[in-house]
Amino acid sequence: MNLAKFSLNGLGIHVNDAGFATPLDAEIGNLQVGFTAHAEAGGAKAQAVLDDLGVAVSGVRLTSGKTPLLVLGGLQLEQGRLDLDAREVHVGRVALANGKVELRRDAKGRIAVLEAFKPASGKPVAASAQLDKKLGKKSDKKEAAWRYRLDQVGLAGFQVAVRDETVQPAGGLTLQGIEATLRGISENLKTPLPVNLGFRVKEGGRFQASGKVIPARLRADIKLKLDGLALAPAQPWLSQAANLQLASGRAATQGRVQFDGKAAADKQVSFKGGFTVDDLLLKESETGDRFLAWKRLTSDTVSATPTSLDIDELKLDGLGAKLIIYQDKTVNLKKILRTAAVGKDAIGAPPLVPVSPDRAEGRRLPAAVAPAAPAFRVNIDRVRVERGEVDFADLSLRLPFGTRIHDFKGALNGISSQPGSAAELELDGRVDEYGLARVTGQIDLFDPTGFMDIKTVFRNVEMVNLTPYTATFAGYKIASGKLSLDLEYKIKQRELLGENQIIMDKLILGEKLEGPNIKHLPLELAIAILQDSDGKIDLGLPVSGSLDDPQFSYGRIIGKAIGNILTKIVTAPFRALARLFGGNGEKLEQIAFEAGEQGLTPPEKEKFNQITKILNKRPGLALTVHGAWSAEIDRPVMKEQQLRRAVAEKMGVKLAPDEEAGPISTANPKAQGALESLYAVRFGEPEWKTLQTRWQLANPEKKQGVGEMLSRLNGLIKPEQPLSEEELSALKGSDLHALLYGRLLGQETVSDATLKQLAERR
């Protein structure tokens, strides 16, 4: 029997299923079917072939009550063939077009799509069990398995709307223009299937993915790319945790995702690639002030699994941040976080544990007594900060201080979630035109209330330009003056401590302020007595104590005044000379470079500016400037710079020719490997093995991974001499990699010719 052509058109279908808690309605607007057929029944086997099969469906709707679950513009099946005798099915293409799906979670957390398929009552009978009842037991006769092949299945023009009503206002995201293809589907589930997916995000963004999946092995290898994803739609979820407004931001990522369903749970999914977050701006909801912003946060060395995140280098460009320490020694972050998010233990902080004196003095907790490691591990080898701007204020000081730091740059090395570890940081920036700000120290970023030891230094800050709440002092405005501060912030048992020095240079008071809470002290007399021969006032104020009334010791003031009178008489001739160069008592005859550096700090540049003004008024004066160098001062720093760069390059860090490598953390496994490799090259492999063996003999109970901060600022590292057997006892309790660093530093050389080149650059 031959059927030349069968055609069905114009068939509409409507089905109502009341077996669900809310009846389901399925509707097909038009069904078209066409095929040819050939059948033979007289032979040993019945033969039937269905060919040129085509199916077209349009106007598909699936609803649950009044809730639309799926709208499908069309479905097409093309080039179909069914061979009953050969037990084969082949379809050339299946295409679904113009579909719409809404995924909604209501205020009670219920997902509409899942709720729609809840049965009306009782438990549903499994479809397979129902089929067994109808067909009875399976036949014992063995027959060839069916073979099938679907060349391509594709989606086009789909839209998925996601809405979450558990937050207020409701949050949502709409995926548009969803295109997807899957090729080569067959009964051979071990065959890799090419897959492609792409869509646009209505709120901003575009996603592309391509790769292969292996169904039988539950494996997938996908390359993905996300561009320009707008972050502003995340505002409803952010508002639940913090009083912040997400004003702008775009995210992008590119990389490779691998999935292995048969692997251990912590290794089933992995990602290698990079990401970028551009133009982020977070504002305080109440004031509209900037809280956190950056131009770009990026890394191209990200490795992630369900239990770990590893980043070689993270670059932060154009940082804008706000850090305020209030009178009660809390920080502004605590006020930004909502109560529900802060809770009894802020930000999920672990219970407090006693802090040992070692840690309070800046040394890390040994691994043996550190808290247990968290389930999710984070390691970031290096964070590079460039072109930052930070609003900083410390209102816990007796003289409240606040300013804006710009050109903020530096590095944080060795960030890790491993308990007991601490990141090393060195950051600096400018305040106004000639002021300097610098931050150094250690901090556990994952438990900052457990451990922090940071020193903040401000130099040459114009007091008249400070923020409004700062530019008042005991009932007076500040007309002029410069401020320098040395602030230490240490955490001990979640209590902020500090030993601070505050120096005011040439302070001149302005108009008197009136108000109910303002106390007027005889500051004009006190300032006149306190100012030394250079016009400086050294308050030496601690953090603790009263915040309202500076602790002036009048007995000490009088004692100092007697010494100051004699000093002024002796120094009068030099004061006259100093006035010639600006009249402010500055010692302009010397321009000081920082050790090993070829550039001047902002305060030293100001001296040049003052000299220029004087020379412009006195054309008869000539000034000759010579670059200078000091073997005792410059050579040690340049040696350490050379060694830092060598270690960083061994670690794989890419540095610009004039970029500093930053501090070396001997707790970083990469730094340890680099130090060991350099030591073996420079001193010889046998010497390295000998030193390693001696250290292990002297420290049998100590792991090799204990580290300490190697910073040119603390001056703790001294070059080590070659070890002898008698000096073996000196290794007891030492840090092996700090020892390697010290010996390598002692072996570094900086020639006089190199120092002369430094002088020429200066």
Model confidence over 103-142: pLDDT tens digits?
999 999 999 889 899 998 755 544 444 544 544 445 555 6
**Mean pLDDT, the chain, whole residue set:** 79
Q: Which of 345-359, 417-431, 648-662 has the highest mean pLDDT?
A: 417-431
Q: Phi/psi of residue 587, each to 5°?
A: -90, 90
HEC readout, 78-126 = EEEEEECCCCEEEEEEEEEEEEEEEEEECCCCCEHHHHHCCECCCCCCC
> What per-residue confidence (pLDDT) applies to 535?
72
C-beta separation of 67 from 101 below 8 A? no
Average pLDDT, integer, range 557-572: 34
Q: Which of 124-133, 192-201, 394-403 has the highest mean pLDDT?
A: 192-201
> What per-residue confidence (pLDDT) applies to 533?
56
- Reference 10, options 31, 33, 35; nearest CA is 31
Burial annotation 252-274 (CB, 10 A radius, 16+ → b, else e): bbebebbebeeeeeeeebbbebe
C-beta separation of 442 from 663 below 8 A? no
Amino acid at the residue 56 = A
**Cα separation values, 356 from 167, 340, 431, 449, Å:** 43, 31, 36, 14
The helix-helix angle for 669-683 and 631-650 (nearest 10°) equals 110
Omega before residue 233 within 30° of 0, cis: no
Average pLDDT, integer, range 152-172: 95
pTM for the structure as a whole:
0.68
Distance CA 211, CA 727 (A): 61
Distance CA 398, CA 197 (A): 61
pLDDT higher than threshold 50 for residue 718: no
Residue 303 structure tokens? 């490795």
Confidence category of residue 439, pLDDT binned at 50, 70, 90: very high
Q: Which of 274-283, 362-371, 550-559 has the highest mean pLDDT?
A: 274-283
The sign of the torsion formed by the CA atoms of 214, 216, 219, 225 equals positive
C-beta separation of 261 from 219 below 8 A? yes
pLDDT higher than threshold 50 for residue 8: yes
How many Cβ atoms sit within 10 Å of the Cβ of residue 486?
16
Distance CA 83, CA 147 (A): 10
The helix-helix angle for 554-580 and 523-530 (nearest 10°) equals 60
Confidence category of residue 82, pLDDT binned at 50, 70, 90: very high
Distance CA 709, CA 671 (A): 12
pLDDT higher than threshold 50 for residue 578: no
> What per-residue confidence (pLDDT) applies to 236?
95
Alpha helices in 581-630 (DSSP H): 602-617
The helix-helix angle for 669-683 and 736-747 (nearest 10°) equals 40
Confidence category of residue 358, pLDDT binned at 50, 70, 90: very low
Burial annotation 113-150 (CB, 10 A radius, 16+ → b, else e): eeebeeeeeeeeeeeeeeeeeeeeeeeeeeeeeeeeeb
Model confidence over 272-296: pLDDT tens digits?
999 999 999 999 998 898 999 999 9
**Cα separation values, 291 from 261, 278, 279, 284, Å:** 42, 16, 14, 6
Residue with the larger pLDDT of the pair 455 and 553: 455
C-beta separation of 85 from 45 below 8 A? yes
Ranking 17-31, 401-415, 433-447, 574-588 by mean pLDDT, the lowest is: 574-588
Judging by DSSP bridges, how do beta strands 147-164 and 171-186 pair with one another?
antiparallel
> What per-residue confidence (pLDDT) applies to 494?
58
**How many helices (DSSP H) and strands (DSSP E) are in the chain?**
14, 27
**Cα separation values, 735 from 189, 664, 714, 742, 761, Å:** 56, 13, 16, 10, 37
- Reference 475, options 526, 525, 509; nearest CA is 509
pLDDT higher than threshold 50 for residue 557: no
Model confidence over 595-651: pLDDT tens digits?
888 888 888 888 778 777 766 765 555 667 778 888 888 889 889 888 988 998 888
Confidence category of residue 568, pLDDT binned at 50, 70, 90: very low
Residue with the larger pLDDT of the pair 248 and 431: 248
C-beta separation of 447 from 374 below 8 A? no
Confidence category of residue 577, pLDDT binned at 50, 70, 90: very low
Task: Collapse the DSSP code of 247 into the 3-class scheme (helix H, G, I; strand E, B; otherwise coil) and give the result.
Answer: strand
pLDDT higher than threshold 80 for residue 503: no
Ranking 81-95, 569-583, 599-613 by mean pLDDT, the lowest is: 569-583
> What per-residue confidence (pLDDT) applies to 552?
29
> What per-residue confidence (pLDDT) applies to 569?
29
Helix or strand holding residue 172 (H, E) = strand 171-186
> What per-residue confidence (pLDDT) applies to 462?
80
The helix-helix angle for 685-698 and 736-747 (nearest 10°) equals 140
Amino acid at the residue 8 = L
Average pLDDT, integer, range 542-570: 33
Which pairs with CB-CB distance under 8 Å and at least 24 residues apart come from 596-605? 596/634, 596/637, 596/638, 596/640, 596/641, 596/758, 597/637, 598/758, 598/761, 598/762, 601/436, 601/459, 602/430, 602/433, 602/434, 602/435, 602/436, 602/460, 603/434, 603/435, 603/436, 603/459, 603/460, 605/434
Ranking 104-118, 309-323, 550-564 by mean pLDDT, the lowest is: 550-564
> What per-residue confidence (pLDDT) applies to 700?
79
How many Cβ atoms sit within 10 Å of the Cβ of residue 681?
13
> What per-residue confidence (pLDDT) applies to 387?
94
C-beta separation of 154 from 146 below 8 A? no
Average pLDDT, integer, range 676-702: 86
Ranking 359-373, 513-527, 636-650, 686-700 by mean pLDDT, the lowest is: 359-373
Distance CA 432, CA 606 (A): 11
Percent of the chain at pLDDT above 70? 73
> What per-residue confidence (pLDDT) applies to 517?
58
Distance CA 180, CA 73 (A): 16
> What per-residue confidence (pLDDT) applies to 46?
75
Which pairs with CB-CB distance under 8 Å and at least 24 residues apart come from 78-83? 78/54, 79/52, 79/53, 79/54, 79/151, 80/35, 80/50, 80/52, 80/53, 80/54, 80/55, 81/49, 81/50, 81/51, 81/52, 81/53, 82/48, 82/49, 82/50, 82/53, 83/48, 83/49, 83/50
Ranking 22-31, 215-224, 604-613, 644-653 by mean pLDDT, the lowest is: 604-613
Ranking 56-65, 232-241, 520-529 by mean pLDDT, the lowest is: 520-529
74 contacts: CB under 8 Å, gap ≥ 6? 56, 57, 58, 60, 95, 96, 97, 98
Ranges of each domain in the chain:
1-122+146-186, 321-552, 631-761
DSSP 479-494: EEEEEEEEEEEEEETT
- Chain position carrying tokens 């920082």: 594
Model confidence over 451-497: pLDDT tens digits?
888 888 888 888 776 655 555 555 667 778 787 878 776 765 555 56
Confidence category of residue 360, pLDDT binned at 50, 70, 90: very low
Residue 401 structure tokens? 């201080």
pLDDT higher than threshold 90 for residue 449: no
> What per-residue confidence (pLDDT) applies to 500?
66
Q: Phi/psi of residue 164, each to 5°?
A: -120, 110
Confidence category of residue 160, pLDDT binned at 50, 70, 90: very high
